[in-house]
Amino acid sequence: MKKHLLLILACGSFQFSFAQTKDSVDIRRIANEILSNSKAYDDLRVLTKTIGARLAGSQGMVKAEKWGVNALKAAGADSVYLQECMVPHWIRGTKEQARIISNRRDMVAPLNIAALGNSVGTGAKGVTAPVIEVKSFEELDQRAVEVKGKIVFYNYPFIDTHVKTFNSYGDAVKYRGQGASRAAKYGAVAVVVRSMTHSTDNHPHTGSVNYAEDAPKIPAVAIGLKDADRFSKRIANDPSMKLALHTNCQKLPDTIGHNVIGIIRGSEFPNEYITVGGHLDSWDLAEGAHDDGAGCVQSIEVLRAYKALGIRPKRTLRVVLFANEENGARGAAKYADEAKAKNEQHVFALESDAGGFTPRGFMLEMEPAKRAKIISWKPLLLPYGLYDFDEAGGGVDVGFLHRAIGTPMGELSPDSQRYFDVHHAASDVFEAVNKRELELGAVAMAALLYLVDQHGL
């Protein structure tokens, strides 16, 4: 009896170690293929340099969708199709301007501003008003009586001491999202927001403003860190100063956009889906290289590498280039709605939308048993620099699927130190992406998806 048990145990252990070895060999093949023959970097060059900005509703969006179809076909997808959705159509209009008006003649350099996404414009006459600087919502509330008729300047700094910069972003972003409406309730006429960044340059960083239903919509702009510090001193030293803002943003009628989807049909469970994707749109003032051209080309690269290696997944792999993440996430909503309506069976959904930097692991959100299964694969992933699986979360786009039908989700966790230097700013360009870092992200994604496909969740 004992002997049999030992034999069974030995066989089990042999099988396990054989599976581990096969997985490890297959992942090594995938990594070698991507590090040697990846098209991700060249794909990104074309997307960023020949198309560039591609906000929902823009011509860039339309061109990017065509690019996506072609790139997925070139990567060898079994089929490629578009999933239509209505997307918002916000435009910046002619370049916004901010001018300091003062009796003093010194320090009259204009501020370099960027309207926040979805912001209303100032109208042709602009908005000219004195400025009140606050460091927090608490200070805003305390000084509520001073706010009426003024421009509120939220000068809340990014926290330096978080090691993971997404924590600083999570902490500060409320001033961008809610700042306008909270100030408008006290009678403010516009807001200026210190950019959500650690950068050492002066680029303003845009991003969506979210207007509350119960407050007037007032214009909202961002300024870079050097201007923010300069402006803060100016406010303190020059009580006569006013700020003149001219922004020309408009919200046009919703228009048609598309998720671009390429698939490899599953060999054993074609009706079980594994989704991997990034978002195809980008803010209008940048090339959208890290955010999120990187996630798109990495997702396409997963498919290309599988095809090049003759890996046929058991489940159907769907590469989804989501529409309109930046100012609406209508693409993700559509994808999730349709999955629910069709009662699709989704095994896992993985996103890359945290930059094309050197990968360190994955954020995961799913039942504990499924998470434990992924964690058990850590030894297979560690040789690729992937050690961090502790954080809960997934990306914005796969989050819709997670909430709609409970799909286990994850997001690639690249090193975050450089991300907010370029996030939503004109500095988010192809040159800021390193070829090998981008490719290692694709290796990480392809490896995890391979394991999920082979072993289920």
Question: Considering only residues 26, 171, 254, 415, which one is a binding residue for its own copies as defined by CB under 8 A?
Answer: 415
Q: One of 65, 133, 325, 411 is an active-site residue; which one?
A: 325
The residue among 336 and 440 lying less far from its own copies, judged by its C-beta, is 440
Question: 73 and 268 in contact (C-beta within 8 Å)?
Answer: no
The residue among 385 and 393 lying less far from its own copies, judged by its C-beta, is 385
Nearest to 114 by CA among 53, 165, 158: 53
The residue among 165 and 206 lying less far from its own copies, judged by its C-beta, is 165
327 vs 323: CA distance, rounded Å: 10
User: Amino acid identity of 446?
Assistant: A
Question: Considering only residues 421, 429, 445, 452, which one is a binding residue for its own copies as defined by CB under 8 A?
Answer: 421
Q: How far is the CB of 440 from its own copies (least distance, A)?
A: 7
Q: How far is the CB of 356 from its own copies (least distance, A)?
A: 11
Report if residue 160 touches its own copies, rule: CB under 8 A.
yes
Pick the stretch among 56-64, 161-169, 366-374, 448-456 that binds its own copies (CB under 8 A). Answer: 161-169
135 vs 157: CA distance, rounded Å: 8
The residue among 200 and 271 lying less far from its own copies, judged by its C-beta, is 200
29 vs 22: CA distance, rounded Å: 11
Q: How far is the CB of 248 from its own copies (least distance, A)?
A: 33
- What string marks each residue from 354 to 393 as x (binds its own copies by CB under 8 A) or -? ----x-x----------------------xxx-xx-----
Q: How far is the CB of 167 from its own copies (least distance, A)?
A: 12
Question: 448 and 347 in contact (C-beta within 8 Å)?
Answer: no
Question: 116 and 207 in contact (C-beta within 8 Å)?
Answer: yes
Residues from 33 through 52 that contact its own copies (CB under 8 A):
35-36, 41
Q: How far is the CB of 388 from its own copies (least distance, A)?
A: 8
CA distances from 272 to 171, 269, 452 (A): 37, 5, 12
The residue among 225 and 339 lying less far from its own copies, judged by its C-beta, is 225
Give the strands of the sheet with 359-365, arranged side by side. Answer: 79-91, 250-264, 315-322, 269-279, 345-351, 409-414, 359-365
Question: Considering only residues 312, 370, 435, 455, which one is a binding residue for its own copies as defined by CB under 8 A?
Answer: 435
283 vs 162: CA distance, rounded Å: 26
Question: Considering only residues 227, 291, 353, 437, which one is a binding residue for its own copies as defined by CB under 8 A?
Answer: 437
Question: Considering only residues 165, 181, 299, 427, which one is a binding residue for its own copies as defined by CB under 8 A?
Answer: 165
- 106 Rama sector, left if φ>0, alpha if ψ -120 to 50, beta otherwise: beta
Tokens of 22: 């096969």
Question: Please, which residues have CB within 8 angstroms of residue 311's CB and are 6 or more apart in sequence?
Answer: 26, 30, 305, 450
Question: Considering only residues 315, 418, 423, 424, which one is a binding residue for its own copies as defined by CB under 8 A?
Answer: 418
Total residues in contact with its own copies, by rule CB under 8 A: 27
DSSP-assigned letters across all residues of 327-356? TT-HHHHHHHHHHHHTT-EEEEEEE--S-S
The residue among 177 and 385 lying less far from its own copies, judged by its C-beta, is 385
CA distances from 268 to 14, 89, 272, 293, 454 (A): 25, 42, 9, 32, 10
Q: How far is the CB of 344 from its own copies (least distance, A)?
A: 35
The residue among 177 and 393 lying less far from its own copies, judged by its C-beta, is 393
Q: Where are the beta strands (DSSP E) in 1-63?
A: none
**Cis peptide leading into 292, omega within 30 of 0?**
yes
Residues from 189 through 228 that contact its own copies (CB under 8 A):
198, 200
Active site residue 325: yes
143 vs 392: CA distance, rounded Å: 37
- 319 Rama sector, left if φ>0, alpha if ψ -120 to 50, beta otherwise: beta
Q: How far is the CB of 438 from its own copies (least distance, A)?
A: 9
Q: How far is the CB of 116 from its own copies (least distance, A)?
A: 25
**Positions marked active-site:** 325
Residues near its own copies (CB under 8 A): 31-32, 35-36, 41, 160-161, 163, 165, 198, 200, 358, 360, 383-385, 387-388, 415, 417-418, 421, 434-437, 440
